[in-house]
Structure 1
Amino acid sequence: MGEVEKPTLQQTILLISSLISLSHSIRVFSTKWQSVRYKLDELFSSLTAVENCEFSEDFSLSITLESILLTLRSCHELANRCLTVSFSGKLLMKSDLDILSAKFDTHIKSLSDIYSMGLLTQNCALVVSRPSVSASRDDIKFYINDLLSRLKIGSTDMKKQALFAFNEVIKEDERYVKVSIEIDSLISLLVNFLDFHDSEIQEEAAKALCLIAGFQCYKSVLISAGVISPLIRVLACGSELSKEFAARCLMKVSENSDNAWSISAHGGVTALLKICGNDFDNRNDLVGLACGVLRNLVGVEEIKRFMVEEGAISEFIKLARCKDEVIQINSLDLLQTMAYGDESIKEMIIQGGGIRTFVRILDPKSSFSTKTREVAFRGIVNICCLENSLNLLVNYGFLDHILYFLRSGDILVQELSLKAAFWLCGTSTEAKKVMGDAGFMQVLVTFLDSKSFEIREIAAETLSNMVIVPKNRKRFVQNDQNVGMVLQMLDPMKANSGNKKLLLSILMSLTNSNSARKKIVNSGYLKNIEKLAEVEGSDAQKIVRKLSCNRFRSILNGLWHS
């Protein structure tokens, strides 16, 4: 930098700093002075960033600096007149401030154009030191403004270093995000970098926007800055890493259904479906993220229909068969979301082999995680509500898998299996019969004594539904231990007693069987029912009356009077 230019630059920076301080004292036209102050901040950061830099020999900054100094002197004059309220008229002063603001815009653009020519030497591409943990808001703002100036005027390498530094601070401290949002043009600049020719800058910009989108209160700022369209362009032709960041960012902003239409209107659904439909080797994270974004979008009926027309169902069933857990879970979730409340899509999933895929995940011989199995269980429950589902589930081995996990699975899978058995039992009488033949009742009885109230309740209600069927009732009574367990659970002194209404419902059904009535009377637990008849009321009383009829009347009378 020339000998004349350097003092002029320092003089300009000092004058800007003085004006920023002075502007805080002005009480009139506060909105316009706030706008001027923002532009002074931006001009300050741009000039301080190059204070120690060298320019090429054939370039002079003097003319630009002299022009800026003239505007700054005019600004100082207007500031003093506003401070002393010595202006001739409000309208004239407003007009003068608008003209001043426009001049600053011109200077900022001129500096940006100058430095975009790459006239800064590479040895100046050092980012200032990061403020300490206890730094003030002004220190943080100065640091962010310095990074902003480097992003605007620096070489490609300088831009990269500034983006690296920016992502580090916003990842670790929310204060930097808040200050960044308040600085004019920073978010827009990041959005523009999504279309930058250098892949690293594109990746870092996408990462920064993704980090900012993680804050609920700042998502609207990104939307206002027009982030959706360039994010979708990155999905279509960006680097693999920038695609991942773009997909993460879209997933966060699409949590608000109001943005779904905007994503669709810019071709986002097509781009996401293309990612899911392509060969996903070595792109597992991206495919899983694409499924996540689409899951947020299918709440809009028109978007869901478009996806179906584009063959999405078969693609997601295919993804559900892959070995990557993230893709599996996201595709299974997406299929369930699409099927919710839509019988035609449920039918399409079943016809496309979706249920077979879900059941295979539950195969004990497979090595799927509990989380994946949980999603598969939930998918079967949510989708299989059609008349032909039971035969499919039986043929695919669904009942065998549930029984296996009920007998020997870990606690989480056991609970899932129990809930699946409860759901299956409630689908039809035929399902109850099939479950009875498969041996479910004997296993369910063992859960009546569980430490978990919820598990005891689900097991009791499932049994209550199953023993309504005469064939099941007969099978249940054949095992003395089954009847005994139900009666034991009605003992008021038992620690895990509870679910009395459901247990009494089971007994009520059993009393329709002669052999069951006999076993109940001879079990030694009859007094439990009698006590309940005295305290609990009608259900227990009905059972006592049924037990005391016909040929058991004399037996009961003898017991009561003994």
Structure 2
Amino acid sequence: MGEEDKRSHKDEPKAKQYSSLRQTIDFLSSLISLSHSTKVFAAKWQSIRTKLEDLNNGLIAVENCDSDENPVITELVLSLMVTITECYDLARRCVDLSYSGKLLMQSDLDVISSKFDTHSKKLSEIYDAGILTGGFALVVSRPSFGACRDDMRFYVRDLVTRMKIGDTEMKRQALSNLHSAVAEDEKYINVIAELGDIVNVIVSFLDSPETEIQEGTAKVMSVVAGFDSYKGVLIGAGAIAPLIRVLECGNEAGKEASARCLVKLTENSDNAWSVSAHGGVTALLKICNSGDCGAELIGPACGVLKNLAGVEEMRRFMVEEGAISTFVKLARSKDETVQINSIELLKNIASGDELIRQMVVQEGGIRGLLRVIEPRSPCSSKTRETALRAIENLCFSSNSSIGILLNYSFVDHLIFFLRNGEVSVQELALKIAVRLAATSEEAKKALGDAGFMQELVKFLDSKSFEVREMAVEALSGMVLVPRNRKRFAQDERNIGLILQLLDPEQENSGNNKKLLLSILMSLTSSHSGRRKIASSGHLKNVEKLAEAEVHDAKKLVRKLSTNRFRSMLRGIWYS
């Protein structure tokens, strides 16, 4: 026998095996098509069809592998062909409605479904045994952008099949490809949601003993959780408990992906209780307390706890577990995400609870926040804005907290942001200054000494009505303090601008006019203030308002008319 004949003879079993395999794949595809025509026992046929599609993908993978002459595969193919033939007969009878009885057909469908489970298990064992090599390690190409939904479904099912029956590397690669697909094209998330059984399969991989598989699964789920319409799908598949188990036992990257997924899922407070019920709060606090975890993990862990802090019982549990000292420390982190989430968490924990606010103060929370907004600190504008909001939330309900702010240069920080901050920080600083000015005479004095009034004057003709209103409100309170009033009146331009803004033709609200007039009324308590008002070329605006029966304007005119400046005035005196 020649060498060529020997090779041909040697390849015969393999060729026969592949011929049988291809025939089985084709027959499976035909059965899947036929199953779509069944109109009875829809739920059972849907379950069977899912198993058929998984087996079909698995056999295609076998076909792509170099399995040599393996009798195990031959045996599987032959036994599967028998089951497919039986199922084909059942499908045909369901399509033709030619079965003898419903109960008997239901029983037959249950039996055939069980047989397909056995075949799937056998196929998994073949992969686990490492019999197959070659082509299956290379995941099939993703359909091009804009491909039809059927092609996308096939691709997703192929990946899930590889995840179910492949070795660790195959599973890791399939998860990586699925993550790329969902991250780059939202349509793949639609496909996953439509194939509800696939979501359950993906969630189950969170409990894999391989941390790389946990990591890849959590990354896929984190992308899906980013879409509000699909969060319920993950919750329904029981995703929260295994995500928390990954937080407890996974690798660093897996924990990070799980935390990011939980941040998105807990944006809906209804899911907070599920996180707590599975020990999530304790696991997250442990991460935040750990000196071994990186900022990439601590940041989203803080984010989850920040969401959970909206529930009063969880806030109190966090406090009992020492969360305040933990997050006061993390507020000094060099990582922006960790800083912001920690500060917002402190704010949320203390919201509406004076006792917890005092605990934050005692743990050095205010001093820590003041360090964040220190102009020389390297913090971003976003972090500073977050810290300013937290200070506003934590400090303005307590005189002692206001005292701490005044003693630790808070006023100097505010005026710096008024002069140099980005618009959002500048407006927030202005808002806080208005609130601070209303707290006490000491606060008004501190603001005046720092030069706040001159900065506030600059905002009086701002394009923003809200900014104008805040500026005039703060000024009207600050000029009630004698030394502030004297300082304000020293610059004639201040009085001139106030009078100019009272022009009846300007579109200021009545409340703004009322506050502007109250500033002028305060200034009339000093000789220099009355003189500068009376000598201003814009005094006519007050007279016009008085003629229009504006009560406060008439009151101001009377005040000016009762002294030696009477001759400088014109218009009406008394009505």
* Global fold match (TM > 0.5): yes
Q: How many Å separate the matches in 1 of 2:61 and 2:300?
A: 38
Paired position in structure 2 for 1:39: 51
Paired position in structure 2 for 1:218: 230
Q: 1:551 to 1:280 in 2, by over 3 A?
A: farther
Does 2:308 match 1:302? no
Q: Could you list the per-position Cα deviations for residues 236-282 of structure 1 after superposition, in whole angstroms to 9, with x for gaps in the alignment?
A: 2322211211110111111121221221222221121111112267x
- Letter in structure 2 aligned against 1:312: A
Q: How many Å separate the matches in 2 of 1:12 and 1:184?
A: 27
Paired position in structure 2 for 1:529: 542
Q: Which shifted more, 149-158 or 83-92?
A: 83-92
- The correspondence for 1:358, drawn from 364, 369, 383, is 369
Cα shift at 1:57: 5.5
How many residue pairs match? The answer is: 560
Q: How many Å separate the matches in 2 of 1:330 and 1:32?
A: 48
Alignment of 1:87-486 (within 5 A): 87-183=99-195, 185-279=197-291, 283-384=294-395, 385-486=397-498
1:56–1:119 Cα contact (<8 Å) kept: no
1:487–1:528 Cα contact (<8 Å) kept: yes
Q: How many Å separate the matches in 1 of 2:283 and 2:106?
A: 48
- Letter in structure 1 aligned against 2:522: S
Q: 1:495 to 1:411 in 2, by over 3 A?
A: same
- Letter in structure 1 aligned against 2:554: Q
Q: How many Å separate the matches in 2 of 1:320 and 1:190?
A: 36
Q: How many Å separate the matches in 1 of 2:197 and 2:509?
A: 66
1:504–1:539 Cα contact (<8 Å) kept: yes
Cα shift at 1:55: 3.3
Q: 1:123 to 1:83 in 2, by over 3 A?
A: closer
Q: 1:216 to 1:404 in 2, by over 3 A?
A: closer
Q: Which shifted more, 126-135 or 547-556?
A: 547-556
Q: How many Å separate the matches in 2 of 1:408 and 1:244?
A: 37
Cα shift at 1:321: 1.5
Specify the SS of the correspondent of 1:450.
Answer: coil
1:489–1:497 Cα contact (<8 Å) kept: no
Q: How many Å separate the matches in 1 of 2:34 and 2:570?
A: 103
Q: How many Å separate the matches in 2 of 1:519 and 1:224?
A: 73
2:189–2:224 Cα contact (<8 Å) kept: yes
Cα shift at 1:285: 1.5
Q: Could you list the per-position Cα deviations for residues 69-118 of structure 1 after superposition, in whole angstroms to 9, with x for gaps in the alignment?
A: 22222222222222222223333333333333333333323322332232
Paired position in structure 2 for 1:556: 569
Q: Could you list the per-position Cα deviations for residues 504-539 of structure 1 after superposition, in whole angstroms to 9, with x for gaps in the alignment?
A: 232233344454333222212111112223447333
Q: How many Å separate the matches in 1 of 2:420 and 2:481?
A: 27
Specify the SS of the correspondent of 1:60.
Answer: helix
Cα shift at 1:135: 1.0
Cα shift at 1:444: 1.5
Q: Could you list the per-position Cα deviations for residues 398-437 of structure 1 after superposition, in whole angstroms to 9, with x for gaps in the alignment?
A: 0122123334444444323212211211223332233234
Does 2:495 match 1:508? no
Alignment of 1:47-58 (within 5 A): 47-55=59-67
Q: 1:559 to 1:525 in 2, by over 3 A?
A: farther
Paired position in structure 1 for 2:7: none
Specify the SS of the correspondent of 1:388.
Answer: helix
Q: Which shifted more, 343-352 or 97-106?
A: 97-106
Segments of 5+ residues of structure 2 without an aligned counterpart are 1-12
Specify the SS of the correspondent of 1:323.
Answer: coil
Cα shift at 1:312: 0.9
Q: Which shifted more, 29-38 or 144-153?
A: 29-38
Q: How many Å separate the matches in 2 of 1:513 and 1:147?
A: 83
Paired position in structure 1 for 2:5: none
Paired position in structure 2 for 1:25: 37
- Letter in structure 2 aligned against 1:507: L
The TM-score normalised by the length of structure 2 is: 0.90
2:381–2:422 Cα contact (<8 Å) kept: no
1:193–1:202 Cα contact (<8 Å) kept: yes
Alignment of 1:52-91 (within 5 A): 52-55=64-67, 59-91=71-103
Q: 1:248 to 1:229 in 2, by over 3 A?
A: same
Specify the SS of the correspondent of 1:194.
Answer: helix
- Letter in structure 2 aligned against 1:342: D
The TM-score normalised by the length of structure 1 is: 0.92
Q: How many Å separate the matches in 1 of 2:286 and 2:385?
A: 28
Cα shift at 1:379: 1.1
Q: Could you list the per-position Cα deviations for residues 339-390 of structure 1 after superposition, in whole angstroms to 9, with x for gaps in the alignment?
A: 1111111101111111111112222222321111111111111000212122
Q: 1:525 to 1:497 in 2, by over 3 A?
A: farther
Paired position in structure 2 for 1:545: 558
Segments of 5+ residues of structure 1 without an aligned counterpart are none
Q: 1:99 to 1:463 in 2, by over 3 A?
A: same
Specify the SS of the correspondent of 1:118.
Answer: coil
2:61–2:135 Cα contact (<8 Å) kept: no
Specify the SS of the correspondent of 2:21.
Answer: helix
Cα shift at 1:540: 2.4
1:491–1:497 Cα contact (<8 Å) kept: no
Q: How many Å separate the matches in 2 of 1:95 and 1:21?
A: 22
Q: Which shifted more, 165-174 or 510-519?
A: 510-519
Q: 1:539 to 1:101 in 2, by over 3 A?
A: farther
Q: Work out the percentage of aligned pairs sharing the same amino acid.
A: 58
Q: Could you list the per-position Cα deviations for residues 434-454 of structure 1 after superposition, in whole angstroms to 9, with x for gaps in the alignment?
A: 323433223322221333333
- Letter in structure 2 aligned against 1:153: I
Cα shift at 1:320: 0.9
